[in-house]
Structure 1
Amino acid sequence: MLHIEKLNVSYGSIHAVRDISLEVNQGEVVTLIGSNGAGKTTTLNAICGVIPSKGSIRYQNKEINGLPTHQIVKEGIVMVPEGRRVFPKLSVANNLLMGAYSRKATKLELQEDLNMVYQLFPRLAERKSQMAGTMSGGEQQMLAIGRALMAMPKLLILDEPSMGLAPIVVKDIFETIRRIKQQGLTILLIEQNATMALSVADRGYVLEHGEIGFHDTAENLRNQDIVKKAYLGK
């Protein structure tokens, strides 16, 4: 579904991402793990057209590198950004509807999609009239994921969904990711919490200093000594 070859991103004299190649197949959850500053978010921003890059980014056999971000969203790639970035002065329901702005959907279709999100996140249904800025970090993360799902993505990109959240909330978020995976949605997950990321992923890539150090199945990565020591705290 997504094939990246020799992706390079530079900020002035800083070569942040160097010749990255990776792929995400339909129906997979693929995780990109690495320490702070390894280039994970930069890679995502390049995929989504937020920053310029060199190299090939092919999505469903179409070259998308160079397309504007709104066009990439219409192609079916939707990202939940780091830090959630909900609209604080809009209600939960209106935040969710903002996720569907690029679609041509009837009121009935939008309501059905809202109901789908509310089933996935019952807490959002309870608080649909509440201003998003008054919600907890975990609730805002649920809202950000729900808003992305309203765009009906074919590829969902999650950037650090556990950041700043209490462990019990992180567990809930990753349980939701498992449920989304079971529905067949393809996911590219960027996550510093390697233990949680590898628990839901099919495959993983380890990013070190802007380069892919190695990649393997999630199970094999969990059992590699170098990954255990560097990322799993073992």
Structure 2
Amino acid sequence: MLKAVVTDLDGTLTDRRRRISTAAIEAIRNLVDAGVPVVLASGNTTCSLDILCKMIGTDGSIIGENGGVYRYRFDGKLQVAGRQEACWDAYHRIEEHFAEEGKALTLYSPENRFADVAFARTVSPAETAEVIADMPVRAVDTGFAIHLQYDGVTKGSALAELAALMDLVPDDFLAIGDSENDTEMIRRAGVGAAVGNAVPGPMAAAEYVAEKKYGEGFVEIVRKYRPYFLER
């Protein structure tokens, strides 16, 4: 039996224009009202996820910064994984590299990030990865931004740690996503699913791929697996 849901945000609960799906919100609220915990997992900052949790109606359990931070409920302590100082070292090398090409990088909310470093997707993600290939940091291309994250830190690793705080194990979760940074989370969960607009990585890792895309795909997945949940 499944006991909880962990879901990506951008591209999974939204439409192609990044507007959050009202049908997906309704599906999440139905789960929460039935006693099924729902965890939002994103590359976004904690403060951004807090706003969404409050407005959607979850208990504040989150995975942020692509696994770099996680928390069980609003009143829980924010846990920080990885080494942000290593990410900053990588960022400065990347910054110098592209400066030589006459390109400047634009940071995203550095004051609100505790584990990773994120910047605008105005340079080549592949070239970015090559620049830091010998460093213990990887470049995560979410399709919306480029994130620098310490090796081994993923949404999947955060799921394993968060599950323990919730008195659960990863096998208790239905994980839903669409991007490469969701692949490990989908692979580690008891059931992994991908929405119809997903890229190859999460599709290959998923037990089920929705026919519908974006938020409608999320609703399709929840409906398919709803009978497998043990309400708490």
Report the TM-score when normalising by structure 1. 0.31
User: Which one scores higher on RCO, CA 8 angstroms, separation ≥ 6?
Assistant: 1
Greater strand share, structure number: 1
